[in-house]
């Protein structure tokens, strides 16, 4: 019986990714051509599961009570388990401008390769299709359903304008705002009206003024989702949607209170009323597992990439909540020029470009090799676990590790 060394295992995993490369790239383009919003990713779900079936991994479809989630596993049942996350939801109007087609297929490629060597590496891999990252919190819901139970580490890779060791993942929450006024004929009897659009505009301007006095890692952005019905009717109902972000969940909650005060001022000034709620799930900031980050950097470099450490982009993701449950990484892989922003039509183009295709293959290899490192290197597992324990111990009293712990 052959004894596999670390380099042998990694070489074999990379060979398997190459064997599947054409299928992975074909699937990446297929998902890109069929953009689906959060919780609606039925085409992507079925296509990903079909590829796993073809690889002999027999996926569990509709996992964790979510219609568009899936899981597949391989390796010894009691072995160190690495979760590899696949995202595949798109954005309204601009499709895969976040490149989730690349996340999905790099994750699948990594999972297929890791599964093929899991027994020899004495490890276990769990491939998890995680829908609704764009505001829906699919990973949090799956964690509550027990899908990540028994996992020792989690990882994924996200496309960007450069190869970055980490992303500056900040906490976020949504606020849906509802203003109510009184309708009236805008020409015949404007004095009888109470203008809910004016309330919303003044609330928006209040938040705009607030933006001058927030921290460098804090963000506030909002849109009008309903502005009225007809110009000659004083609007009696308007709606807005806001995102509030900050470095940590407690800081985000503090900023949210300031935002609500500014929005409520618009209602008070116009004689209207304001209601609000928090749709979806709040996301936590992320704990990047430094030992795993360094393993990723070495493995990504082995594919010919030059990974920047210390340079990041700010965004929010439900991977932050997963990182509060186990050591986790969320590196960025370059698919576009540095001046092309994610969430833009230009970036959507690059997500299905030759650069995007290369990221699918390189990302799959680097993820698989990092999983193999975690399985076969006790020093890496111990360092990741020790760092994770320190971060938990350093939490202020009364602060829970995540906004969405299992069972909450």
DSSP 156-171: --EEESS-BS--EE-E
For the stretch 49-95, pLDDT in tens is 999 999 999 999 999 999 999 999 999 889 999 999 999 999 999 99
* Angstrom distance (rounded) from CA 338 to CA 27: 26
Instruction: List the CATH code of the domain at 171-277.
Output: 3.30.70.360
CB 283 within 8 A of CB 318: yes
Mean pLDDT of all residues in 116-129: 97
Within 13 Å and on the Cβ side, how many CA atoms surround 210?
21
Q: Is the pLDDT of residue 372 over 50?
A: yes
Pick the CATH number of 6-167+286-393 from 3.40.630.10, 3.40.50.800, 2.40.160.20, 3.40.50.920: 3.40.630.10
Q: Which of 26-35, 268-277, 311-320 has the lowest mean pLDDT?
A: 311-320
Q: Is the pLDDT of residue 408 over 50?
A: no
* Angstrom distance (rounded) from CA 270 to CA 291: 55
Give the per-residue pLDDT at 353. 98
Residue 280: band (very low, low, confident or very high) from pLDDT cuts 50, 70, 90 = confident
* Angstrom distance (rounded) from CA 315 to CA 298: 24
pTM score > 0.85 for this model?
A: yes
**62: helix, strand or coil:** coil
Q: What angle do CA 95, 96, 102 make, to 5 degrees?
A: 160
Average pLDDT score over the chain:
95
Q: Is the pLDDT of residue 406 over 80?
A: no
Partner residues linked to 180 by β-bridges: 237, 273
**Rounded to the nearest 10 degrees, how much is the dihedral formed by the CA atoms of 303, 306, 308, 313?**
-70
Q: Is the pLDDT of residue 136 over 50?
A: yes
Mean pLDDT of all residues in 226-234: 96
Q: Would you list the domain boundaries of the chain?
A: 6-167+286-393, 171-277
CB 118 within 8 A of CB 47: no
Mean pLDDT of all residues in 122-131: 98
CB 171 within 8 A of CB 252: yes
The contacts of residue 56 (CB under 8 Å, 6+ apart) are none
From 88, 123, 122, select the one nearest 103 (Cα to Cα). Answer: 88
Pairing status of strand 80-86 against strand 123-129: parallel
Residue 151: band (very low, low, confident or very high) from pLDDT cuts 50, 70, 90 = very high
**220: helix, strand or coil:** strand
Element of type H or E holding 21 = helix 6-33
For the stretch 172-186, pLDDT in tens is 999 999 999 999 999
State what percent of residues in the chain have pLDDT above 70.
96
User: Would you tell me how many other CB atoms lie within 10 Å of the CB of residue 339?
Assistant: 7
């Amino acid at each position: 019986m052959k004894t596999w060394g670390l380099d042998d295992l990694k070489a074999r995993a990379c060979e398997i990714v190459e064997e599947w490369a054409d299928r992975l790239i074909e699937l990446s383009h297929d998902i890109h051509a069929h953009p689906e919003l959060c919780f609606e990713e039925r085409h992507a779900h079925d296509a990903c599961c079909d590829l796993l079936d073809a690889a002999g991994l027999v996926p569990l479809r509709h996992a964790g009570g979510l219609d568009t989630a899936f899981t597949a596993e391989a390796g010894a049942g009691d072995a160190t388990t690495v979760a590899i996350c696949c995202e595949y939801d798109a954005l309204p109007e601009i499709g895969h401008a976040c490149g989730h087609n690349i996340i999905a297929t790099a994750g699948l490629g990594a999972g297929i390769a890791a599964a093929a060597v899991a027994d020899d590496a004495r490890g276990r891999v769990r491939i998890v299709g995680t829908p609704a990252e764009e505001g829906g919190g699919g990973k949090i819901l799956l964690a509550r359903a027990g899908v990540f139970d028994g996992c020792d580490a989690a990882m994924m890779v996200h496309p960007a304008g450069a190869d970055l060791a980490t992303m500056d993942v900040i906490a976020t929450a949504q606020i849906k705002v509802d203003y109510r006024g009184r309708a009236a004929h805008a020409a015949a009897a404007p004095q009888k009206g109470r203008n809910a659009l004016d309330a919303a505009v003044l609330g928006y301007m209040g938040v705009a003024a607030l933006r001058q006095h927030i921290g460098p890692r804090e963000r506030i952005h909002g849109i009008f989702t309903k502005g009225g019905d007809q110009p000659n009717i004083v609007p009696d109902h308007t709606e807005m949607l806001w995102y509030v972000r900050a470095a940590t969940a407690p800081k985000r909650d503090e900023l949210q209170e300031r935002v609500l005060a500014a929005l409520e001022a618009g209602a008070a000034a116009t004689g209207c009323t304001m209601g609000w709620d928090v749709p979806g799930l709040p996301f936590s900031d992320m704990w990047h597992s430094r030992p795993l980050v360094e393993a990723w950097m070495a493995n990504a470099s082995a594919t010919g990439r030059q990974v920047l450490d210390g340079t990041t982009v700010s965004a929010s993701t439900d991977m932050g909540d997963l990182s509060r449950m186990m050591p986790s990484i969320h590196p960025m892989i370059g698919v576009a020029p540095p001046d092309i922003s994610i969430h833009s039509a230009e970036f959507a183009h690059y997500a299905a470009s030759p650069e995007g295709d290369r990221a699918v293959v390189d990302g799959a290899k680097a993820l698989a090799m990092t999983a193999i490192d975690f399985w076969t290197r006790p020093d890496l597992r111990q360092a990741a676990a020790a760092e994770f324990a320190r971060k938990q111990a350093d939490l202020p009293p009364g602060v829970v590790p995540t906004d969405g712990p299992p069972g909450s």
